[in-house]
Structure 1
Amino acid sequence: MEMNNYFLQEHSKNTPNRWPYCELGSLTEKVGSGITPKGGERVYKKEGRFFIRSQNVGWGKLILNDVKFIDDLTHSKFPSTEIQTNDVLLNITGASIGRSTIANKTIEGGNVNQHVCIIRVKKHILYANFLNQVILSNYVQKQINSFQAGGNRQGINFEQIKHLVVPLPSLAEQKAIAEALSDVDELISSLEALIEKKKAIKQGVMQELLAGKRRLPGFSGKWNKKSIEEIFNINTASSKSRYITEGGKYLIIDMGSISKNGELIPSKQTNYSGDFLMIGDLVMPKDDIGGGKIIGKTAYIDKNDEYVAGDHIFILKSKFGESRFFHYLINSFEINNRVRKKVIGSAQLGISKNSIKEEILTFPDLNEQEAISDLIDSLESEINKIYKKTEKIKLIKQGMMQELLSGRIRLV
């Protein structure tokens, strides 16, 4: 294990307080994964023992909204993979390699599948919560990545896990470090939960306002009905693939530039100075090779002379009204669901211009459109502020991890 000898040497000489660094295998009672029961989905139950898969192991947290269960009979066939409280669970295959979390009492007595490794520490020398934070640190993630160098990150094996090099301060200091980092994790989790709560509130408000089920104070009267063709001019543009320039001044908007949530996510740059999209334009993917989830969704253009229209999209330029309102309306479940029913194709899915043109929208007068859009924008702005705060705290935690796990800052 030459790579891990390198980690041992480098961190021994770079650690100011000369903590010992040990290979993980010498600090554990168990390193092993489970199996998936024969029968697949048929084996899973509505309740019973938790069956933890890689999607249930997040970055330092359990994700149990899509958890499966098995019965006692199935569990009895592989008792060696039974989860104990404070086991460290590590993903060892696929795109989520390196994610880890701590098993709590909720999942105690459950099992893991072959994609999740149970690491059970020797409690007299290693604190499980400390190990989990160490695994999530850049220091151990680099080691995990080194095992995959030149490959395609398909998996790491038990021997490689046992050869991971980890710092070993005293148990008292391990606990102090883990508690400090866990406090930050709890703050991050609370902010993430608040974001989800705000999103749910926003979704409920949008459903009521965009359907006219709830009216804002001061507004009444019948809503109008018109086709998208009557509200928008619908255009297309040519491919800008040959004009892609790394570091270019502008961003190309094509079908890959719009998320399934109707957000702009451009990545291709260009110096091509034509086919500019303007503030108030809506862009809608008309093709998709990823299951069709983005087709019919719109993104709102909020800047002039920054985005260049590419291919595989419709460009909707409003003839009247508040295009922000129509952006939200078209993206609503009811409208988007109707639009996606018109999608055709197999390998590459698509929707015709005529199918979009004929779609009927129901909407209020301009003043109410603006009021609804302003309210939804304010809710989105509030969510974005919390999101930015959360990301800032995550960066602070990364800095804390570097200082605490290297021994540059001591808590004991």
Structure 2
Amino acid sequence: MNTTPQNTPFKQTEIGPIPQDWEVKKLGEVGEFASGTTPRREMNERYFQNGSIFWVKTMDLNDAEIYDTSEKVTEIALKETSSLKVFPKDTVLVAMYGGYNQIGRTGILKISACVNQALTAIQVNKQVLNPLFLINILNYKVNYWKDVATSSRKDPNITSKDVKTFPIPLPPLPEQTAIATALSDADALIGSLEKLIHKKRLLKQATMQHLLTPKEDWEVKKLGEIGECIIGLTYSPNDVKESGRLVLRSSNVQEGVLKYDNNVYVDVKIPEKLIVRKDDILICVRNGSRDLIGKCALIDDNAVGETFGAFMSVFRSLFNRYVFILFQSSIIKKQIDEHLGATINQITNKSLNSFEIPFPPLEEQTRIATILSDMDAELSGLEGKLEKYRQLKQGMMQQLLTGKIRLVG
């Protein structure tokens, strides 16, 4: 393997500069295209129940290798549905519709499977194109589809013609294989870390359930008995400025921690009560999505002294390290579901104050919080490493798939 960007002559093409010994071809020139169908749902018992044939839908696409599907169809469905066919291993799939978040998503079959009508199935000429190299090119250029998508349907979509005319750079086949192998190794590293994180999250949930099981000396208290719920700041668009006091909103709460990628600042006088303190619990209490009600984060050092918006509440008490754990458990999540309005996605401060929680002695609270905080710290470290691996792979793609770095045997 050599890195020779300085010595590699480049030529200008429709997709930009590429090495002289690479070609540019339309995808339709190097592959055969087909699409699938959905067997009639009303024939569930005959077509889906106890199915044995893998059947890929858009939700099964993972931008990587596919070994299983969420549904299977029966042999009868295959016989009675003329447009349903089985595609072989190494078929590359591309989603054609489902909105900007779905179009262009990919998968490569590592099983034989049928596909639904939202997908284009591509069987490449392996004498010219390595299918694993192709899926990496498609993933690298996923934003390409936003420019060619049409909106003849309710959601933007692409057509099989769009996919056929997709221009791809073609290195010599041995180099394609070397690139695909290098990127697959990076994917394997990322995948193993994702599995470890998933395992650690399940372990944390099991540990939390065990630690929060009430003991004989525990009490039951309402949140309103041990602390105070405070509703957030109401402000007008005229109050929003380029700088000033940060207003923490739902978008600042991600995976139980504060993020600062989407900030709003105001220049108004803020009541002292609405200035957040270390370890306040910031809670989403109103939102267009019911699923987001109750998501929360502890106020960290970066947010101390800021404020929060009217769709948020803060819970303030001397026991927040422990209470925050309860907000991540089914104990409070269940009560949120019970108190949600029928037509308005919100929980009131009155509801929050009424929530009942198991309340151990302070020493036990500290022990529980310490154990789970240590697990959170480990998860945070693994997630940080995962993000670095993903960035590393993105950098590899940018270098390898443009020929800036050559893999030479």
2:119 maps to 116
CA distance in structure 1 between the partners assigned to 2:365 and 2:328 by the alignment: 15
Q: Tell me which of 264, 268, 279 is aligned to 2:263.
A: 268
Correspondence 1:10-409 to 2 at 5 A: 10-11=14-15, 14-28=17-31, 30-39=32-41, 42=44, 43-62=47-66, 64=68, 67-76=70-79, 77-78=81-82, 81-94=85-98, 95-105=101-111, 108=112, 110-137=113-140, 140-148=141-149, 154-212=156-214, 222-242=217-237, 245=240, 247-255=242-250, 257-258=252-253, 262-264=256-258, 267-272=262-267, 274=270, 275-290=274-289, 292-303=290-301, 304-318=303-317, 320-321=318-319, 323-346=320-343, 348-409=344-405
Secondary structure of 2:168's partner? strand
> Percent identity between the aligned chains?
27
**Alpha-carbon shift at residue 211 of structure 1 (Å):** 2.3
Secondary structure of 1:288's partner? coil
Which consecutive unaligned segments of at least 5 residues does structure 2 have? 1-10
Greater share of residues in strand: 2
Shifted more, 268-277 versus 85-94: the winner is: 268-277
**Alpha-carbon shift at residue 80 of structure 1 (Å):** 5.4
* Native 8 Å contact 1:254 1:310 kept in 2: yes
Secondary structure of 1:407's partner? coil
Q: Could you give the per-residue CA deviations for residues 192-241 of structure 1, whole angstroms, max 9, x where no partner exists?
A: 1111011111111111112247xxxxxxx711222111111122133235
* Native 8 Å contact 2:65 2:110 kept in 1: no
Q: Give the 3 Å change call, closer, same or farther, for CA 78–176 of structure 1 in structure 2.
A: farther
Q: Give the 3 Å change call, closer, same or farther, for CA 405–257 of structure 1 in structure 2.
A: closer
* Native 8 Å contact 1:8 1:21 kept in 2: no
CA distance in structure 2 between the partners assigned to 1:332 and 1:183 by the alignment: 36
TM-score by structure 1 length? 0.85
Q: How many residues align?
A: 386
**Alpha-carbon shift at residue 97 of structure 1 (Å):** 1.2
CA distance in structure 2 between the partners assigned to 1:62 and 1:127 by the alignment: 17
TM-score by structure 2 length? 0.86
Q: Could you give the per-residue CA deviations for residues 40-64 of structure 1, whole angstroms, max 9, x where no partner exists?
A: 6935324421111111001224385
**Alpha-carbon shift at residue 96 of structure 1 (Å):** 1.2
* Native 8 Å contact 1:49 1:72 kept in 2: yes
Secondary structure of 1:283's partner? strand
CA distance in structure 2 between the partners assigned to 1:54 and 1:120 by the alignment: 18
Secondary structure of 2:229's partner? strand
CA distance in structure 2 between the partners assigned to 1:211 and 1:54 by the alignment: 41
CA distance in structure 1 between the partners assigned to 2:292 and 2:402 by the alignment: 44
**Alpha-carbon shift at residue 263 of structure 1 (Å):** 4.0
1:3 maps to none
CA distance in structure 1 between the partners assigned to 2:251 and 2:106 by the alignment: 31
Q: Give the 3 Å change call, closer, same or farther, for CA 206–41 of structure 1 in structure 2.
A: farther
* Native 8 Å contact 1:252 1:269 kept in 2: yes
